[in-house]
Structure 1
Amino acid sequence: MFRRAAFAAVALGLLTTAACAPITTYSGFQAIESDPKDVAIGTDTKSTVRAKLGSPSTTSTFDPNVWFYMNQIKQRVAFRKPQVTARNVTAITFNKDTEVVESVNLYTLKDGKVIAYNNRETPTRGREMTVLEQLLGSVGRGGMLPRDDEGVPGTRPGDRR
């Protein structure tokens, strides 16, 4: 009897601690065979960087000679909101003429800045109707009057379109 109670307590304890174990998710660029830190400034070109690291996560909007390799790690415990525990962004800048690497910049989560978004909406003013316009708005549209298109080709008897 004591063994069953002890076994149940141990099983319950293991289930409780397993439920609180964080779930880790990885997203973005994964360095498998080479690291962005291995890119040599002045010797590597766009083609050698693409051969080493693969296609970039994204390129700069205003300058196609800046490539970004990004990844992040999130952890979530039970039902809580996921927390970003690590974020790495590698920016590789190429020379416009020779396509040789000019600089390699590494940014982490500490380099990021929190931006406060404004959730309010900008009101757009359409045509606002007065109370009198709303009350008399359907007068003259012909909803109450009989229709004159009876017998016109393409209409069916009793059709109320």
Structure 2
Amino acid sequence: MLKRAAFAIALGGFALVGACAPVTTYSGFQAIESNPRDIKPGTDSKATVRGRLGSPSTVSAFDPNVWIYMNQMKETVAFFKPTVTRRDITIIAFDKETETVKTVDNLTLADGKVIAFNGRETPTRGRELTVVEQLIGSIGAGGLLPREDEGVPGSRPGDRR
């Protein structure tokens, strides 16, 4: 009897430890046949880069000759918040006239910077009503009584202008 209880406790402990294995997720650009770091400045063009790597993750909003390939890996353990364990960003800049690769920059998670978030809110006009104010305010709205202008051409059923 004692052996069965010890076995059950050990089995439960192994199940808990096994359930806490991290779940890894990948997102972004997936380098399958070619790596963005293999692109050579001066020799590759837009056509060869698109042929090797496919479409970029994004194109710069300020210069269409800057292509960005991004990917990252996250690990989630149990119910904890996911943590980014790896991030690779490759920025490829092309020459405007010749459309050949001018520069290739590789950035990793270590190159990232923490940006201070401003938690202030932008005020909106008006004020928020409480539930009681909303209920009392809708009593005299007359939503239950038929309106006089219903049936007039151009009005829709249920239109409350």
Q: TM-score range by the shorter chain?
A: 0.7 to 0.9
Paired residue for 2:82? 82
Q: For 2:5, what is the secondary structure of its paired residue? A: helix
- The Cα of 1:126 is off from its aligned counterpart by 5.6
Q: How many residues align?
A: 134
Question: 1:71 maps to which residue?
Answer: 71
Give the RMSD, CA atoms, in angstroms. Answer: 2.5
Q: Secondary structure at the match of 1:52?
A: helix
Q: Which has the larger radius of gyration?
A: 1
Q: Distance in 2 between matches of 1:125 and 1:3?
A: 70
Residue aligning to 1:22: 22
Percent of residue pairs bearing the same amino acid type: 63
SS across alignment from 1:110: helix
Stretch deviating more after TM superposition (44-53 or 16-25)? 16-25
The corresponding residue for 1:109 is 109
Letter in 1 for 2:56: P
SS in structure 2 opposite 1:103? strand
Question: What is the deviation of 1:124?
Answer: 4.0
Q: Which residue of 1 aligns with 2:132?
A: none
Residue aligned with 2:89, SS: strand
Task: Tell me the CA shift for residue 7 of structure 1.
Answer: 3.0
Instruction: Structure 2 unaligned segments of length 5 or more: list them.
Output: 128-141, 143-147, 153-159
Match of residue 157 from structure 1 = none
- AA at the equivalent of 1:84: V
SS in 2 for 1:120: coil
Secondary structure in structure 2 of the residue aligned to 1:18? helix
Partners of 2:83 and 2:113 in 1: CA distance: 16
Partners of 2:32 and 2:125 in 1: CA distance: 54
2-side partners of 1:116 and 1:47: how far apart?
A: 39
Letter in 1 for 2:22: P
Identify the residue that residue 118 of structure 2 maps to in structure 1. 118
Tell me the residue number matched to 2:93: 93
TM-score between both structures, scaled by the size of structure 1:
0.75
The answer for the alignment partner of 1:12 in structure 2 is 12
How far 1:119 sits from its partner (Å)? 1.8
Cα distance in 2 for partners of 1:94, 1:5 equals 68
Number of the residue aligned with 2:60: 60
Could you tell me which amino acid in structure 2 is paired with residue 105 of structure 1?
Answer: D
Please give the TM-score of this superposition, normalised by the length of structure 2: 0.75
